[in-house]
Amino acid sequence: MATKANLVIDQGTTYSTSITITDEYNDIYDLTGFTGAAQLRKHYTSSNATAFSVALGGNTGVITLSLTSTQTASLIAGRYVYDVEITSSANVISRIVEGIATVTPNVTR
């Protein structure tokens, strides 16, 4: 089961957040050898997606998601859904984080 984490993204800015993943015993999840992917969509059936850059922190259990200012500027303010999947070296895919992302409107241009 994926961890729930909601995000707030400011439109038109560079965005980055780090999430520490733990197992059912609250031990740090070792992400060594895994790759990650994450997308943001207006709703889960939407064909348009914005891909996060995903960095995995190996044995620290930290996943860092980031978007460029160009990416966030192209998002319409409002509510989105997102998730993060990791793939093991054995090609096993797991959804590790999911939630709601709220994009707040940019005023300064």
Query: Which structure tokens are listed for 32?
Result: 């060594």
**Domain definitions of the chain by residue range:** 3-104
**Measured between alpha carbons, how far is 46 from 99 in angstroms, rounded to an integer?**
16
pTM: 0.91
CATH number assigned to the domain with residue range 3-104, chosen from the 4 options 3.40.50.12280, 3.40.50.620, 3.30.565.10, 2.60.40.10: 2.60.40.10
Sole residue written with tokens 């993060």: 84
Task: Give the pLDDT confidence of 44-94 residue by residue, as tens digits.
Answer: 999 999 999 999 999 999 999 999 999 999 999 999 999 999 999 999 999
Question: Could you give the residue ranges of the DSSP H alpha helices within the chain?
Answer: 69-73
Which pLDDT belongs to residue 35? 97
Query: Which structure tokens are listed for 57?
Result: 């922190």
Does residue 109 surpass a pLDDT of 90? no
Q: Which residue has the higher pLDDT, 108 or 67?
A: 67
Which pLDDT belongs to residue 54? 98
Q: What are the distances in angstroms from CA 48 to CA 26, 44, 74, 80, 94? A: 35, 10, 12, 11, 22
pLDDT, the chain, mean: 95
**Measured between alpha carbons, how far is 38 from 65 in angstroms, rounded to an integer?**
8
Helix (H, G, I), strand (E, B) or coil at 92: coil
